[in-house]
Copies of this chain bind each other. A is one copy, B any other.
Amino acid sequence: MNADYSKQNIEFNIINNGTITSVPGFYAAACHCGIKGSGKPDMCIIYTPEDSTCSGVFTTNKFLAAPVSVTKEQLKKTRNIKAIVVNSGIANACTGEMGYKNAKKTIEIASKYLGIDKDKVIVSSTGVIGKQLPMDKIEEGVRQCAVKLSNIDGHSAAEAILTTDLVTKEIAVSIKVEGGNDIIIGGIAKGSGMIEPNMATMLSFVVTNIKISEKLLDEILLEEVDSSFNSITIDGCQSTNDMVIVIANSKSSIEIKNKKDKYYKKFKNALSFVLKDLARKIILDGEGATKLINIRVINTKSKFDAKKLAMGIANSNLFKAAMFGEDLNWGRINAAMGSVDCDFDPEKVDIYIGDILIVKDGMGIEFDRKYTEKLMKEKEIKFTVNLSYGKEEFSVLTTDLSFDYIKINALYRT
Give residues in A with beta carbon < 8 Å to B. Answer: 60-64, 93-96, 128-130, 193, 195-198, 235-240, 315-318, 321-322, 324-325, 327-332, 334-340, 344, 346-347, 359, 361-364, 401-403, 405-407, 409-414
Contacts and interface: CB of A to CB of B under 8 A. Distances in A.
A17 to B, nearest CB: 34
Given A61-B339, A317-B409, 4 more contacts: A62-B338, A94-B334, A96-B363, A235-B316
A193 B410 contact: no
Contact of A325 (B197, B347, B409): B409
B334 A197 contact: yes
A195 B319 CA distance: 12
Given A63-B334, A197-B334, A96 B361 contact: yes
A380 B251 CA distance: 61
Given A318-B235, A344-B62, A409-B325, A330 B130 contact: yes
Contacts of A334: 63, 93-94, 129, 197, 240
A410 B327 contact: yes
Nearest to A128: B331
A360 to B, nearest CB: 10
24 contacts: A63-B338, A64-B346, A94-B359, A94-B364, A128-B331, A193-B318, A198-B329, A198-B332, A235-B316, A235-B317, A235-B318, A236-B316, A236-B317, A237-B317, A237-B339, A238-B339, A240-B338, A317-B401, A321-B410, A322-B410, A325-B412, A327-B410, A328-B414, A405-B406
A328 B240 CA distance: 18
B406 A402 contact: yes
A130 B331 contact: yes
Contacts of A315: 236
A235 to B, nearest CB: 4
B196 A318 contact: yes
Contacts of A363: 94-96, 130
Which of A62, A327, A414 has the most B CB atoms < 10 Å from its CB? A62
Nearest to A234: B317
Contacts of A402: 406, 410
A328 B130 CA distance: 13
A328 B93 CA distance: 17
A309 to B, nearest CB: 10
Contacts of A64: 338, 346
Contacts of A347: 96
Given A96-B362, A334-B129, A363-B95, A321 B409 contact: yes
B331 A414 contact: yes
Given A237-B317, A317-B235, A317-B237, A195 B406 contact: no
Given A94-B331, A130-B364, A410 B324 contact: yes
Nearest to A325: B410
Nearest to A339: B238
Given A94-B331, A237-B335, A335-B63, A406 B409 contact: no
A340 to B, nearest CB: 8
B405 A63 contact: no
Contacts of A362: 63, 94, 96
Given A96-B347, A197-B318, A362-B63, A335 B410 contact: no
Contacts of A63: 334-335, 337-338, 346, 362
A344 B235 CA distance: 24
A358 B258 CA distance: 52
Contact of A197 (B324, B331, B359, B412): B331
B240 A335 contact: yes
Question: Nearest 10 A-B pairs (CB), nearest first?
Answer: A325-B410, A129-B331, A321-B409, A197-B335, A61-B338, A130-B364, A63-B338, A62-B338, A238-B339, A321-B410
